[in-house]
Structure 1
Amino acid sequence: MTQNTTFKKDILYWRFSAYGFLKNLRFFDPFMIIYLSGIGVSYTQIGVLYGIRKLVAFFLEVPTGILADKMGRKQSLSLAFLAYIISFLIIYLYPNFYLLILSFTFFGLAETLRSGTHKAIILSYLEIKGWEDQKADYFGHTRGWAQMGSAISSLVAGVLVFNTEHFNNIFLFSIVPYVINFFNIITYPKELNTGKASKKKKTESFNSEMLTALKNPHLIKVIGNSTTLASFLGAVKDFIQPIMATFALSLVFIKDIGSEHQRIGIVVGVLYFIIYFLNSTTSINAKKITKGFSDQPSYITVTLIAGLVVGICSGIFYEFNFVVLSLISFSLLYIIDSLRKPFIFSYIMDDTPSDMTTTFLSIQSFVSTIATAVLSFLFGYLADHFSIGEALVIVGIMLLVLYLTVLMFYHKNKKKS
């Protein structure tokens, strides 16, 4: 099929964008750590909960990847959103550690059912329309709308906390956009359910394709590049919330406005709105911003190292009580991650047959999941026994040294071959 120069913003473009926008209306996201620590859950236990959520996804990643191809992508996504809703209800109704484990288990199930599936739906649509060469730009746009959803969600969450003076209500309100998205998904066109060149996979087929991917050193390197920074951010991103809360309570000009919860609600909501708004703008304009980088592998490597460095700097600034600089550095970590994602996905997809798209995305998510789980456990423990700032520095340096060591051996072996 003849390739078009640009994609069109048709009705499915807006529905795909609406999916990401509604998915990210998680009103609890800006306050999860604040809420959990407020009901007596330690940072180590929070690390356990986050790790469990990822490990559930780890154990179910392969079967759910196959399930998406067997039962259909729309059905897989629909089940994911039902699992999310159950998770929200449990954490709202039963806020104690042991039942939180059940809530985070359902959340992990939802994450793995959703993982890579919607991307595969979009890829099928791009193939049908002949827009495969536009996938990096297209995903930048849809991710931009998702980030805008996070931005709006933060403001709404701040207002909800200010009005109710409670953090638990935001879990209940989060159900509404997920119900809307459920109906958005189940009414997608039938031809996107399996993909243009999709085939139902047996377990042995998946294992064969996984072995094929793991025999390709180039793809292993790309998967490593894509998962390192994402795993770091996934493990530590919510722990910026106590830093934001500290900043909120230090603002003299709002000290007479409402209760501590209300001040934290408004300030944290506004700060997250700024971060996500910048992320949204970055994602939509990622192609323009990165125009000067013709060498995609070098771009991925440079941005990974930069992301780890600013994460380390955020921890250092916080330890020396430069809270504003710490927050700015952490915001840069989000922005760098947003600049990377559309291009990493495009880079991987260029080397992946369309009929194993969902399976290959499951392999990538599989690696990212286990790495994030381990880092969540580690970060929670370090934050409890040292501080959040020191934990950022320790984990950041550890990953940076590990990545540079692996990169050195990779290039050394490449020269030999």
Structure 2
Amino acid sequence: MSVKANIRKLYAIRFFYNLIPAYVIERLFWEQRGMTIQMVVYTEIIFAVTVVLLEVPTGIIADKWGRKKMIVLSTILEGFMFLILLFATEFWQFAVAVFLAGIARSASSGSENALLYDSLLETGQERTFEKYLGRLNVCDFSAIILAALSGSYLASRYAFELNYWISVVSMIVSVCVSLLLVEPVIKSKSDESIKIKEYLTVSLHFFRKHPSVCLVLLSGMVTGAAISFIDEFWQLYLNRLEIPVLYFGLFSAVIMIVRLPGNILAHAIKKRFRYRTILSGVTTAFAIGLFYVSMIKDYTSLLAIFFICLISGIIEPITTGYLHHRIDSSMRATMDSFQSLGLNAVLIILGLGFGYFSSKYDVFGGFGFIAVICTLFLGCFFISSKQLFD
């Protein structure tokens, strides 16, 4: 089988990996099982710590022994995670499920992007990486939209458990498709194979030599963490506004749909605007939008959430593409893993603050804290980027 087919298979894997109707009622399901906001934040921290500890090792394994194997492992673990959640009633059971999800995330994050880039590289299309990564994200969002609409309808008529069983089936399909992937040939700029113990040293040396890469990735980490809190806690936000669960699917669909233009057009936006302009503009939009969401507790705040999600669509293709165009294939999964490691490190730090302010001022206070962080980072970005990009 040809590596050209890998892109279509990655589309299918992404689609079924995200065709998860459980997500639309996840926080309500967890709350129903006794999980408070503080406990949910603790599981988020467990997830982030797991990813931080395993992200680079799994990236090294992917580069040395195959990206396909790690993608297959990821889909299998995600399936087990949903099975555990189906029967979870205690905090430790949720923690175990989230721990497996953390392993799954660390196994797939660098591996998938590396396999995509090297598949394009083998066919001479590597410059189109942002375009295809954006399309992969469109598959994500399309599946999430479908799952949200169907999941909210099912949740309004049947027990929440049905959504989880459907999610298990979707993950089984994802496992089957991932087994059909073809490992592309790694085209390294160096003829010498890097020893496992040297991966960390070489990676850190690269980041020290390329401070602009560090700043671009840090921008993606801060905004990526911010959008993660919206994705994780919008259900509670709508619940506080007394919006019926029947409309949760529609809301979830909208916040996914508005991200599509950014992902589709990211490669074109990159050609028309400088990185400093793009990243500072996105961070500014996040800060303003999150302040509004935290302070204005009515339906108009939903428009602010839609605006944040609209702007967020361009971030991943832009930041990930900036990295991949500057690294060697022999370490592609490892270097990409550092990006995910950093994101989850930021999530751990911000998660503590989000949990504290949510416990004091409900979910509104948590979003206010994230708005302050975005504002502080924006000031730092303006100062640092002027030296690196001007």
- TM-score of the superposed pair, with normalisation by structure 1: 0.86
SS at match of 1:89: helix
The one-letter code matched in structure 1 to 2:340 is: S
Alignment-derived partner of residue 178 in structure 1: 171
Give the CA deviation at 1:267: 0.5
Distance 1:38 1:67 in 2: 39
Mark the structure with the bigger radius of gyration: 1
Equivalent positions of 1:241-320 (< 5 A) are 241-247=235-241, 249-250=242-243, 263-264=244-245, 266-287=246-267, 290=269, 293-318=272-297
Cα pair distance change 1:68/1:93, threshold 3 Å? same
**1:173-218 Cα shifts (integer Å, max 9, x gaps):** 211111111111111124x2x6343986533221222221231211
Q: Which residue of 68, 74, 79 corresponds with 1:74?
A: 68
**Aligned residue for 1:257?**
none
- Percent identity, please: 17
Partner Cα distance (2:351, 2:332) in 1: 28
The root-mean-square deviation of aligned C-alpha atoms, in Å, is 2.3
The corresponding residue for 1:349 is 324
Question: Which of 146, 151, 161 lines up with 2:155 in the alignment?
Answer: 161
8 A contact 1:139–1:342 mirrored in 2: yes
In 2, Cα distance between the equivalents of 1:130 and 1:409? 35
Q: CA deviation at 1:162?
A: 2.0
Where do 5+ consecutive residues of structure 2 fail to align? none
Q: Residue by residue, what CA displacement relative to the aligned partner does 1:219-276 show, whole Å, maximum 9, x if unpaired? A: 21111111110012223422111222344x45xxxxxxxxxxxx41x20011111221
- In the TM superposition, what are the counterparts of 1:72-151 in structure 2 within 5 Å? 72-151=66-145
Give the Cα separation in 2 of the matches to 1:77 and 1:292. Answer: 31
Q: Distance in 2 between matches of 1:152 and 1:201?
A: 43
Q: Specify the alignment match of 1:374 in structure 2.
A: 349
Contact 1:66/1:201 (<8 A) preserved: no
Partners in 1 of 2:12 and 2:282 — Cα distance?
Answer: 28
Residue segments in structure 1 that go unaligned for 5+ positions in a row: 1-9, 251-262
Equivalent-residue separation in structure 1 for 2:369 and 2:359 (angstroms): 13
> Which position in structure 2 is the counterpart of 1:19?
13
Q: Residue type matched to 1:268 in 2?
A: F
Partner AA of 1:54 in structure 2: A
Query: Could you say if the C-alpha distance between residues 66 and 336 of structure 1 is closer, same or farther in structure 2, counting changes exceeding 3 Å?
Result: same
Structure 1 residue 44, shift from structure 2 partner: 1.0
1:253 corresponds to which residue? none
What is the identity, as a one-letter code, of the residue corresponding to 1:295? R
- The residue number in structure 2 matching 1:360 is 335
Q: Which of 180, 193, 203 is the aligned partner of 2:196?
A: 203
Query: For residue 328 of structure 1, what is the amino acid of its counterpart?
Result: L
Instruction: Name the SS of the counterpart of 1:211 in structure 2.
Output: helix
Partner SS, residue 181 of structure 2: coil
Give distance in 2, aligned partners of 1:207 and 1:104.
Answer: 26
Check the 8 A contact 1:42/1:384 in 2, yes or no: no
Q: How far 1:355 sits from its partner (Å)?
A: 2.1
Separation (CA, whole Å) in 1 of partners of 2:198 and 2:176: 32
Bigger shift: 115-124 or 385-394? 385-394
Change (3 A) 1:292 1:122: closer
Equivalent pair of 1:121/1:195 in contact (CA under 8 Å): no
Shift of 1:280: 2.7
Could you list the per-position Cα deviations for residues 118-174 of structure 1 after superposition, in whole angstroms to 9, with x for gaps in the alignment?
A: 11111011101111111111211221121111111101211221231x223322221
Corresponding letter in the other structure for 1:304: T
Q: What is the one-letter code of the residue matched to 1:206? A: Y
**Alpha-carbon distance between aligned partners in 2 of 1:70 and 1:155, rounded to the nearest angstrom:** 41
Q: 3-state DSSP class of the match of 2:105?
A: helix
Q: Which residue matches 1:41?
A: 35
How many Å apart are 1:60 and its aligned residue?
A: 0.9
Closer/same/farther in 2, CA of residues 402 and 136 from structure 1, 3 Å limit: closer
Match of 2:56 among 57, 62, 69: 62
Q: Distance in 1 between matches of 2:289 and 2:160?
A: 30
Contact 1:69 1:200 in 2 (8 A): no
Change (3 A) 1:189 1:317: same
Partners in 2 of 1:406 and 1:133 — Cα distance?
A: 27
For residues 205 and 164 of structure 2, the distance between their equivalents in structure 1, rounded to whole angstroms, comes to 42
Q: What do residues 90-130 of structure 1 show as CA deviations (whole Å, max 9, x unaligned)?
A: 11112221211111111111111111211111101110111
Q: Which piece of structure 1 moves more, 278-287 or 226-235?
A: 278-287
